[in-house]
A and B are shown apart, each in its own frame.
Chain A
Amino acid sequence: MTDDRLLSVQGVGKHYGARWACRDVSFDLWPGEVLAIVGESGSGKSTLLNLLSLRTPMDEGAVHYALRADGNTPGGLHNLATLSEARQRLLARTDWGFVEQNPRDGLRMAVSAGANVAERLMVLGQEHYGRLRCQALDWMQRVELDGHRIDERPTQFSGGMQQRLQIARNLVTRPRLVFMDEPTSGLDVSVQARLLDLLRSLTENLGLACIVVTHDLAVARLLAQRMLVMKDGSVVEAGLTDRVLDDPQHPYTQLLVSSVLTP
């Protein structure tokens, strides 16, 4: 039976001095799966996301990712720690996406929307201005941004639009795995809703695997098929999203679910 896992996480953890921010987390992810990591502040979910996306070095464990086969590497799971920094950086800007909580952290605010979206393609060596612009336009439309605004700077966009732009910027290289750190926090409720709808349809239509960190259970329910619940650096419960939310087993999960306000 062929191993078609996209990501395999084995016992990853990180400590700061004596305190483990995140400890012994393991799971596998298949193509097209959306996994939500939920927890409150201090649960270690953001640390985990940074470990998985190689932004922070891990103190224990390993992350394996199924690289695309090319001239230099065969396909299949590779331990990411064995990759050179150059290879890791290339991975981060081609086959992966990272949607930051604050779009200003994920965009170049001083260059136009079109340049923001087309940048990854330029980094990969595309040198035809007309085609770059065409692709930028196409992706802006896919995230429901007005293509006429392609030459405007992100500073002229609202928060929700900036977030869409950030998503387009990440998706232009058709990554197979997208990390999202609280993608809708900080936005107005109605704007959040639209963005969630967009994320939901994009992940389904493009078959993206996503790892979404959120403290908002409603976001997890809407976007994710699977869920990990974290508390104090450890995973306390995992499973199908609707099962975990409707029939929580762990005391902490029960607390979390019962604490959610419903209008």
Chain B
Amino acid sequence: MNTETVHTTGAPLAVAPAQSADSDYNFAFLDEQTKRHIRRALLKAVAVPGYQVPFGSREMPLPYGWGTGGIQVTAAVIGCSDVLKVIDQGADGTVNAVNIRRFFARMTGVQTTTATEKATLVQTRHRIPETPLREGQILVYQVPQPEPLFRLEPRRAQTVKLHALAEYGLMSVRLYEDIAHLGAIARTYDYPVRVNGRYVMSPSPIPKFDNPKMHLNPALQLFGAGREKRLYAVPPYTSVESLAFEDHPFEVQRWDHACALCGAGDSFLDEVIVDNAGRRLYVCSDSDHCQSRQQAGHTGSAVGEPGSQP
């Protein structure tokens, strides 16, 4: 039996004891040929940072749009001694994160954790953990639409050519349009980046707040899009620059608030409506980060107020 160790109050965080893998399934669900295929594709991706490598996406026990790409990448690289963390919008406790973590626990028997610094492999939907990653860790992103030019040029044959020739004027046009109509570049998530000075890539729908974390990150970053059947990678210590204009440089989001639970002033905050009167709190999106800070003694404005427990 697997014990869930995700709590929102200050219980000690632990690595869940590994259960034995379900013997009706191959290790990590995928057959060995598929794992080999995906690994080869990943090697290509790592060799050409930011380049989208097509792969034979398999049927997974959940539909497209629920992270099948990320799951296949994780399944291809996970090993018995890995420690797995899964987050969805920064939280370990949401439905998707819980289910995916449970899936891998059952399919591999590996240890799972909510602590970023204890994980060797982190699968994420739409956020990068606040805790800085280190060498030897792998971050797997779930990607809905790998093609950054998709809205501007839906034809795959054309975008392949544009990437091959590094013709990215179209993306500049998109950014120009934002400034012309909205006064500033309006993208706040899935903000396009240039990897290793060559390929323009979609970082997946992470908030642009997280983009700087990708730059020269010591960890290996892998991206999987199951429905679109493509994967790509950013090797450790690779340059990742967010696109912008000289006179409209890239800027991250900032809040006027700090986290109501742990007082962090530099993390990505979620806005939470707490009662029917519409009162709201701002709390860290990264639940592990928030809890670690609380355990270390940091507090925010909401702690101690009666009836303020989220």
Contact = CB atoms under 8 A, between A and B. Distances in A.
Q: Are A and B in contact, CB atoms below 8 Å, in the complex?
A: yes
Interface of A: 85-86, 89, 108, 111-112, 114-115, 118-120, 122-124, 127-130, 132-133, 150-151
Interface residues of B, number: 18
B165 A112 contact: no
Contacts of A124: 169
A152 to B, nearest CB: 10
Contact of B176 (A85, A86, A89, A132): A132
A128 B245 contact: yes
Given A89-B167, A115-B180, A123-B167, A108 B245 contact: no
Contact of A112 (B168, B181, B245): B181
A108 B171 CA distance: 13
A124 to B, nearest CB: 8
Given A114-B180, A129-B176, A122 B169 contact: yes
Contacts, number: 53
B169 A123 contact: yes
A103 B180 CA distance: 23
B256 interface: no
By Cβ-Cβ distance, the 7 closest A-B pairs, closest first, are A123-B169, A122-B172, A129-B245, A128-B246, A122-B169, A115-B173, A127-B246
Interface string B141-176: 000000000000000000000000101111011101
23 contacts: A89-B165, A108-B173, A111-B173, A112-B177, A112-B181, A114-B176, A114-B180, A115-B173, A119-B170, A119-B173, A123-B168, A123-B169, A127-B172, A127-B245, A127-B246, A128-B245, A128-B247, A129-B176, A129-B179, A132-B245, A150-B180, A151-B180, A151-B181
Nearest to A126: B172
B248 interface: yes
Contacts of B176: 114-115, 118, 122, 129, 132
Contacts of A133: 180
A85 B248 CA distance: 33
